[in-house]
Amino acid sequence: MQRKRLSKGSAVGTAVIFVAAIIAVLIKFPLNEPFVWVWLGVAALVVPFVLWVAFSKRGAKIPVKEGPPPGP
């Protein structure tokens, strides 16, 4: 089984999308709803995690099985 790392471009793109979503939620939705705070908390954790996975020397790696792709 081979392990691959998330690409840096993909990580930066994901972080930018999540930061834009956080800003949109802060501007558009009422902050007195508990779901908004849960969503903001999860999104705020995703951004540094994705950047850590891509840029850290010891970041998480995704296991990838070698061989033909599964199919019918």
Coil/strand/helix, residue 61: coil
Cβ neighbours of residue 47 closer than 8 Å, sequence gap 6 or more: 15, 18, 19, 22
The confidence score (pLDDT) of residue 68 equals 73
Residue 7 amino acid letter: S
User: Mind listing the pLDDT tens digit for each residue in 23-59?
Assistant: 999 999 998 999 999 999 999 999 998 888 888 877 6
pTM value is 0.71
Separation between Cα atoms, residue 27 and residue 62, nearest integer Å:
35
Separation between Cα atoms, residue 33 and residue 36, nearest integer Å:
6
